[in-house]
Each structure stands twice: as structure tokens, then as C-alpha cells.
Amino acid sequence: MDYACTSPANQDRARELDEGLGRLSALAHASMAGIALAAAGFDEIGGWCDGYTRSFEHWLAVNVGFDLRTGKELLRVGQALKLLPRIAAAFAAGQLSFDKVRLVTTVAGPETDELMLAIARGASGSQLARICRSLRRMQATEAPQHDREELAKRGLWRRFDDDGMMSLVAKLPAEDGAIVMAAIESITGTRPAADRSDEGVTDPADDRWAARRSDALVAMSRHVLAGAAQDLVQASASRQVVVHVDVGVLTGEQPEGRSFIDDGAPLSAAAARRIGCDCEIIAVTERNGMMSPAQPPATAGTIEISSLSPTFACSPEPRRTSSSFR
């Protein structure tokens, strides 16, 4: 039986509908490809300009019925496809959906046209979304103005909710965010505390782990105001911020190499060098995913050099450097 959840009497009907869905979807995908390319061409020649229409997206909304967001994406995709002949051909043949093409065109370029087409064909929609999101983050990290833009967008905001509680929202560069979380986890530890309800200690929090972090933030603030912050830390090993960075990224010989914080957030080469200059460094050689078993002492920062060469380029010279190799 081809369709396990369908009765034997409906097997032929299920097969017919299955084939119909595939055929009609391919036609719809090909039609969307034609619309996207036509939109880019119409916008290029200024066909929508009539003296009172505000933009091509508004023209599409009025004359074709697409909402403004879809119209904007259709135009962007159509313009991008001009530089992506393989993806454009697959889209026009009905082999890729508009949803997949709108994702892949945010990261694909002429040099990655064939590679991204293969990825788009093999991945599901949700898988492709995660892949493209990661690639966009990596591309943004290496953009010339990335660090300056992050500094411009950083901030801490507060507001009072209807229930009277204060909400704090912080936006930080990844490396600064890692420092904040390391400070909080030096108090909370890296795992939720055991449930002590059987001991008569009940925490009414909806999310006990999030509540524990908020309690740690309040405790840190109180100790700072009292001038006794050094007495607060209980888990000193949690104060380390671990950065994985290829030596070639630091030396400039391999700028496309890896550079990321231990939780996966990408770092620019400039940010990695800056961390190296600001922190005490423990260089740990990593081979085939295996790091040296030697554990460094608690420091302000840990740099894991993912290379056979245990060198780290930094100026000015860091305060202390120790190395362990395998």
C-alpha cells in the first residue's frame, strides 16, 4: 500500500491527487518565476511610474493584488535572478518554489550559483531557512562596516509592562553578550538548579531557569552597588569566554576560516583580534575536533586556536599567554 493512512479503496484517488499536486505546484513555481522576472524588467524600464504611484510595490498591490511585502520580494528576487542563471533556470522549470528561491537569493552570488542550487534542491524549506540564516550571519560578520554597525545598534532599553514589572532588552555584539552570560553563569552555573519542591522550597516561576538568571542579574547589581562584587562569584570556571578561531584568520592568510564564540555566534576577524588583545589567553591546539586535555586556569578569556600551529597574532601583546599542545 503506497499511502498507509488511506483506505485501499482510496489508493488510486490518493495517487491521482499526489501527482496532481506535484504537477500543479511545478506550474505555479514556473509562473512565479515568470512574474518575478517580469517584475524586475517592468521596474527597470520604469513602466509603473505614472506620477502618483509611490513605488513599484504599490503598483503591484493595486494592479496585480500582491501585498506590499510580497511585491517587494518579487522585485528583489527577479533582480537577483539576473545574476544567477542556474537558479533562475531551475525556478523557471518549476523545480524550485518561490519560498526556496526567496531564501537562496539572499545569500547566493554568481560564484555560488551552482552550489546554492544543489543545497536548495536537497534541503527542505525549514532546513534551507536555517542554512541561509547562518550564511547571512557569516557574510554580515565579514562586512567592512560590521563592527561599526554593531556598535551603533548596541543598547539597553527598559519598559514597564501592564502588570507593573520591568522588562529589560539588551542588544550587544556577540562577544560582549558572551561576557554578560559568562558573568551570570558564574553565579547560576550552566545547568538549572535541581527541583527542591520535595524539601518544601517552591519557586513559583513559570520558567525557573530564566528566573534564576534574572535573580543572578539582580544579585550582581546589588553587590556592585555595595562594593562587594568579588564575593558573589561561585563558579569561577564559568567566567571563561571561549572563542574558536583559525590561525589563518588572525594572520590574514586564510580570511575565510572559522571564527566563532563557543555558542556558535560568528565573529569577525577584527573582533577576534580585539578579544585577543583585551583578554588573558590560553592557546589550545585543536586537531580533528579534539582539543588538548589540559584545562587552563580561570582567566578573563580563552582563545582556542583551531590549527596545528599554536600561534596567535595580537598587538598590543596580551598580558599573559600560556599554551598547551597535543
For 65-103, write each residue's pLDDT tens digit: 999 999 999 999 999 999 999 999 999 999 999 999 999
Quick one: average pLDDT of 246-250? 77
Centroid of chain to Cα 76: 22
pLDDT over 80 at 311, yes or no: no
pLDDT in tens, 208-237: 889 989 999 998 888 887 776 566 555 544
**pLDDT band (50, 70, 90) for residue 199:** low
The CA distances from residue 250 to 137, 148, 215, 267, in Å, are 19, 19, 38, 12
Cα separation, 99 vs 89, in Å, equals 16
Average of per-residue pLDDT values in the chain? 80
Average pLDDT over residues 110-118: 95
Q: What's the confidence (pLDDT) of residue 228? A: 63
Which pLDDT does position 153 carry in this prediction? 92
Which three cell numbers mark 312? 596567535
pLDDT of the residue at 297? 42
Question: Residue 295's pLDDT band (boundaries 50, 70, 90)?
Answer: very low
300 vs 251, more confident: 251
pLDDT of the residue at 113 = 96
Least confidently predicted of 162-171, 283-292, 294-303, 305-314? 305-314
Q: Is the pLDDT of residue 37 over 50?
A: yes
Q: Is the pLDDT of residue 315 over 60?
A: no
How far apart are alpha carbons 59 and 257 in whole angstroms? 44
Residue 32 predicted with pLDDT over 50? yes
> What SS3 class is residue 143?
coil
Whether residue 245 contacts residue 196, with contact meaning beta carbons closer than 8 Å, is answered with: no
Per residue in 266-292, pLDDT tens? 777 777 777 666 666 666 666 655 555
Give the integer Cα–Cα distance in Å for 214 and 326.
40
What global pTM score does this model have?
0.57
140-164 as b/e, with b when 16 or more CB fall inside 10 Å? ebbeeebbeebeeeeeeeeeeeeee
